[in-house]
Amino acid sequence: MRIKYFPLPVLLSVFLAACVGYGAAPAPARALEGGLVDGSGMSLYVFDRDVAHSGKSVCNGPCATNWPPLMVMEGEGGGADYSVVTRDDGSRQWAFKGKPLYRWIKDQKPGDRSGDGVNAVWHLARP
């Protein structure tokens, strides 16, 4: 009886094809109607006083009470247009194209965008 062996490249190709996308973390936000929203559909905002790609958020203390940061959960990491900034307290926050992302305390339900334009320094995060 003669046993045939598949060539190694064929086996590796099948294995790699099965692994495509495996372990890929979902993005922390998605585009919806021209803005970014979190996993619950709540609008996300950027703050003009944050410096893009600085790795920091300047919205801390009472500011962060009104503008809760979009926090990074354990085991999550950046990728593509998303990165992670370290807050003053050492916690980690998501950023989009280098700008930290926030929610607005007065938005009550998915689709609310009442934070856009607040004090002329808060804006809807746009893809």
- For residues 52 and 118, give the distance between their C-alpha atoms in angstroms, rounded to a whole number: 19
pTM of model > 0.75? yes
Q: 30 with 37: CB under 8 angstroms?
A: yes
Amino acid 28: pLDDT: 92
Written as one letter, the residue type at 18 is A
Amino acid 3: pLDDT: 52
User: How many other C-beta atoms lie within 10 A of the C-beta of residue 111?
Assistant: 13
Amino acid 5: pLDDT: 53
- For residues 46 and 86, give the distance between their C-alpha atoms in angstroms, rounded to a whole number: 16
CA nearest to 63, candidates 109, 108, 119, 114: 119
Walk along the chain (127 residues) and give the pLDDT tens digit of each residue: 555 554 544 433 444 344 444 455 678 999 999 999 999 999 999 999 999 999 999 999 999 999 999 999 888 877 789 999 999 999 999 999 999 999 999 999 999 999 999 999 999 999 9
